[in-house]
Amino acid sequence: MTPPESARSLAAAPPLGTAADIARSVRAGERSAREVVDAHLATVAANEAEVHAFNLVLADEARAAADVLDRRIAAGEDPGPLAGVPVALKDNLCTRGIPTTCSSKILDGWCPPYDATVVQRLAGAGAIAIGKTNLDEFAMGSSTENSAFGATRNPHDPSRVPGGSSGGSAAAVAAGFVPISLGSDTGGSIRQPAALCGVVGLKPTYGLVSRYGLIAFASSLDQIGPFSTTVADAALLLDVIAGHDPHDSTSIPEPVPSYSDTLDRGVEGLRIGLITELMGDGIAPDVAARVREAAAALQAAGARVGEASVPAALLGLSAYYLIAPAEASSNLARYDGVRYGLRVDAPTTGEMMTATRTAGFGAEVKRRIMLGTYALSAGYYDAYYGKALKVRTLIIRDFAAAYEHFDLLLSPTSPTTAFALGDKTADPLSMYLNDVCTIPTNLSGDAAISVPFGTGDDGLPVGVQLLAPALGEVPLLRAAAVLEEAAP
């Protein structure tokens, strides 16, 4: 089906192909990095006003970086595997000397003094950042409507949300502004917008990609990962950003394989389990139908497909909305008007902090800070936060038990296709339910990917989710490539 005639779809393939195509041709001298950057910036100029994927477009900086890269290639240098590839960065990744806002007024005017590790690695691989993308404030949301700078719209239908919190990064890829982008995933913030925007979105294993320079929401859950139009581009981007970083104490100190080199090995013999608990109430029939079709496609490709049970997955939402707000209430205490960002003057220090935080934080951030502070308060810690940690342990155990029988798991990514802007903003619980399928993997720390797989009854994209145990990205990406090939 096609989207409603009243909606003008802005979704498009990148002007000059995939990231792999661009890098190959730029490295070979078949086209210049400047040509590539100009073409993508022209697409941004034509459609950004309607999509609002970016908080900041770095047009001059991107052109200057492209010119430097072209000179290096002319001198015989190889700038790296992402040579000349435009990339968009979620605006919670630190960029030296460039405003980093988390889409919040409280970071107004703040320019980090350093680059995030992933930003450094992208530049070292020859990628060219063309902008900072919009997000739900401090990555708290599922629709990118909680931004202090206005909502991002879905390129497939601008009356719909792109998902969140990394909605700007997903929309930038879907609209053809860039072939690849980076987001962060705390409870599904890469995979859910990827599903709603019809692109690939990967949440790597916790610790596989450095979080140094990612402005924290919930430190035990946050993970950086790629958006792309193809699974091959996601693997290529993961090749660049994965690996140990001594600046991040949670970074896994092990060498990483080449994910790109294993994509063509198929799924012959892999055991894949359809998670029964995530196929019941609340999952739209058209979404469930696409997931069953994906299971059939994997079986047709040689995988052994069965039903898997992860009982504690149904408790993930409740545990997450205690653990994540508790960590957020601690992490966001640093925004006090004293050290950086917004400051609202008042007669006393206490009144200044109150006035600054009142003016600087939006409603959803305030809601989660209060929820987290309450859960951590004396008399309630054991009843709420402590119990949520026990549920997290149950989820980890249930996933481990499922992975004894299956190599990978399969589920919907989002319960529905993209919903209308404003449809759920007045009902936080309804909004939170959008992450019911993605949150369990954040709590377990494992890997997961959303792959576009056809459309729903409304003609809008449906994403299916593949899940793998920790450091299972190789079989995960192989299966994702098979689904991509089989997609309607």
Catalytic residue IDs = 90, 165, 189
Closest listed residue to residue 90, CA positions, set 101, 79, 76: 101
Among positive and negative, which fits the CA dihedral 11, 148, 212, 371?
Answer: negative
Closest listed residue to residue 267, CA positions, set 453, 478, 486: 478
Q: What is the dihedral of CA 382, 384, 390, 396, to 10 degrees?
A: -150
How far apart (Å, rounded) are the C-alpha atoms in residues 482 and 264?
9
Tokens of 27: 């490295």
Closest listed residue to residue 463, CA positions, set 235, 291, 285, 296: 291
H helices of 265-386, in order, are 285-300, 316-331, 349-360, 363-376
Task: Answer whether 202's CB lies under 8 Å from 166's CB.
Answer: no
Task: Answer whether 182's CB lies under 8 Å from 87's CB.
Answer: yes
Task: Answer whether 27's CB lies under 8 Å from 125's CB.
Answer: no
| Angle at 39 (CA atoms; ends 34, 42), nearest 5 degrees | 120
Q: How many other C-beta atoms lie within 10 A of the C-beta of residue 2? A: 11
Task: Answer whether 26's CB lies under 8 Å from 36's CB.
Answer: yes
How far apart (Å, rounded) are the C-alpha atoms in residues 147 and 362?
8
